[in-house]
Chains A and B, each alone.
Chain A
């Protein structure tokens, strides 16, 4: 992606994001492959957050097939998604927060801690990223031996290290002075522009699919939806920081009682006639997959709608009237993932 700027001296007059450089036509390719072959491709748009994309694609197919996922399967799905959310936020804070504000220590801290979460992914799914783990009817593998113990150890460590990240990055006056009051998105503007996820919650709208339209086992766990009133770049990072703490709390609740039983039910390799939509809250906002079936093994139509694309609508608005030096901070605070937006 590139951003075309018109400036008056140091002040940005107009900003136009030019997207589409990594467009690969996922939606069209999906019409020519069967539903299982689509799984690895449709999770590739966001490799740091692939479990949410995977779930969002699988959910409408399960609705059309009328397949109920067993409780244990839903439990494992929710666990993987929450581990993935922490890893994705750490990645975002490392690259978009650390590198874009010239903060090398945050970059190292973020990637170091994320490595431990990737080990958990590897243990559960067999892959560090792009798991292809959810299939129609359930998940592909059961929890391995010793997974819960390792998860508990890792969460203890991550929780302890989040306070170090707080001191080094989020509360560091050198960063706070650069990010506070920069790129303010008011509540009304956020609703009008249609932004989602942490960007919307930082503007004072506590909207989260996990709470508003629960999927998985989110209706059985207690968690808060962090939101801030300021709507500036700093509060967008604070939302992500608080969300990581909430994810740790969700994972601890899920670890306590894991239901017994099967992890998957048999599902046919067809998409029955009809249409359905999947709603999943990813780490970059709400993701929807709209699937139309015609009774064959291939979907008739798949439409993706991702958080990064919706949040990009706010970028030209936020960049108007700010200095060029503030641009990396504002762009970084949106946690934009180009491939997810271009699809």
Chain B
């Protein structure tokens, strides 16, 4: 064992006292999520024709086509059939979004889908059509030897 390389390894740890904080305090500070992130789905009820291709391509069989969930009927969807997602099964591959012929499904940046009750994890078409609330995001910044830190997007110059 060479004392020089042991001291180098120790010094590498000590240097971190002077480096920037790498971590984020997650529920209060959220990391920036890029566009096209495959979070939960967004349903445009005015575009969905109820064809059921999303339910057919879903590898986990988490989509069920339900009828009569919407009070209002849409002209392009006379049968009033819309997808309902069972998020226990969803693997977020988003093949449903890619295969949708009318572009009625979209990506959102919403990923906090845990619920306290089992029934709440089934998302009705009405709930899927709501746009998730925005929150402040923190972007990763690279510095020289001081490492990496995160800065809120609003304060970024």
From residue B146, how far is it (CB to closest CB) to chain A in Å? 11
A157: nearest chain-B partner, CB-CB = B142
Q: Cβ of B57 and Cβ of A174 under 8 Å apart? A: no
Q: Cβ of A167 and Cβ of B9 under 8 Å apart? A: yes
Q: Which one, B8, B33, B95, contacts A122 given CB within 8 A?
A: B33
Residue B22 at the chain A interface, CB threshold 8 Å: yes
- When distances are taken between beta carbons in the complex, the residues of chain A under 8 Å from B36 are 126, 141, 144
Given A144-B35, A174-B9, CB of A37 within 8 Å of CB of B142: no
Residue B40 at the chain A interface, CB threshold 8 Å: no
Given A112-B22, A132-B95, A157-B142, CB of A122 within 8 Å of CB of B37: yes
Q: Cβ of B9 and Cβ of A172 under 8 Å apart? A: yes
Interface hits, A123-157 → B, CB 8 Å: 123, 125-127, 130, 132, 140-141, 144, 153-154, 156-157
Given A105-B13, A172-B6, CB of A37 within 8 Å of CB of B57: yes
From residue A55, how far is it (CB to closest CB) to chain B in Å? 16
- With contacts defined as CB atoms under 8 Å apart, how many contacts are there between chain A and chain B in the complex? 77
From residue A241, how far is it (CB to closest CB) to chain B in Å? 15
Q: Cβ of B140 and Cβ of A173 under 8 Å apart? A: no
**Complex CA distance for A168 and B1, rounded to whole angstroms:** 14
**Complex CA distance for A13 and B38, rounded to whole angstroms:** 50
Q: Cβ of A39 and Cβ of B142 under 8 Å apart? A: no
Q: Cβ of A119 and Cβ of B92 under 8 Å apart? A: no
Residue A273 at the chain B interface, CB threshold 8 Å: no
Q: Cβ of B95 and Cβ of A174 under 8 Å apart? A: no
Interface hits, A15-65 → B, CB 8 Å: 33, 36-41
Given A37-B59, A156-B142, A174-B6, CB of A123 within 8 Å of CB of B34: yes
From residue A333, how far is it (CB to closest CB) to chain B in Å? 20
- When distances are taken between beta carbons in the complex, the residues of chain B under 8 Å from A130 are 91
**Complex CA distance for A160 and B92, rounded to whole angstroms:** 34
Residue B87 at the chain A interface, CB threshold 8 Å: no
**Complex CA distance for A172 and B2, rounded to whole angstroms:** 9
Interface hits, A172-194 → B, CB 8 Å: 172-174, 177
Residue A12 at the chain B interface, CB threshold 8 Å: no
> Which of A33, A144, A173 has the largest count of B CB atoms less than 10 A from its CB?
A173
- When distances are taken between beta carbons in the complex, the residues of chain A under 8 Å from B31 are 119
Interface residues of A toward B: which range? 20 to 34
From residue B33, how far is it (CB to closest CB) to chain A in Å? 7
Q: Cβ of B38 and Cβ of A126 under 8 Å apart? A: yes
From residue A132, how far is it (CB to closest CB) to chain B in Å? 4
From residue B58, how far is it (CB to closest CB) to chain A in Å? 8
Q: Cβ of B13 and Cβ of A168 under 8 Å apart? A: yes
- When distances are taken between beta carbons in the complex, the residues of chain A under 8 Å from B98 are 140
Q: Cβ of A116 and Cβ of B94 under 8 Å apart? A: no
- When distances are taken between beta carbons in the complex, the residues of chain B under 8 Å from A122 are 33-34, 37
Q: Cβ of A167 and Cβ of B107 under 8 Å apart? A: no
**Complex CA distance for A164 and B148, rounded to whole angstroms:** 14
**Complex CA distance for A172 and B1, rounded to whole angstroms:** 9
- When distances are taken between beta carbons in the complex, the residues of chain B under 8 Å from A125 are 38
From residue A112, how far is it (CB to closest CB) to chain B in Å? 5
Residue B154 at the chain A interface, CB threshold 8 Å: no
B99: nearest chain-A partner, CB-CB = A36
Given A144-B34, A164-B12, A168-B9, CB of A177 within 8 Å of CB of B57: no
From residue B88, how far is it (CB to closest CB) to chain A in Å? 15
**Complex CA distance for A319 and B34, rounded to whole angstroms:** 46
From residue B153, how far is it (CB to closest CB) to chain A in Å? 14
**Complex CA distance for A153 and B1, rounded to whole angstroms:** 36
> Which B residues have a C-beta under 8 Å from some C-beta of A?
1-2, 5-6, 8-9, 12-13, 22, 31, 33-38, 57-60, 91-95, 98, 107, 140, 142, 145, 148
> Which A residues have a C-beta under 8 Å from some C-beta of B?
33, 36-41, 105, 112, 116, 119, 122-123, 125-127, 130, 132, 140-141, 144, 153-154, 156-157, 160, 164, 167-168, 171-174, 177
Beyond A36-B59, A37-B59, A41-B59, 10 additional contacts (C-beta under 8 Å) are A33-B59, A36-B95, A40-B59, A40-B91, A105-B13, A123-B34, A126-B38, A127-B92, A144-B36, A167-B8
User: Could you jot down 10 A-B contacts, CB within 8 Å?
Assistant: A36-B59, A122-B33, A126-B36, A127-B92, A132-B95, A167-B12, A168-B9, A173-B1, A174-B9, A177-B1
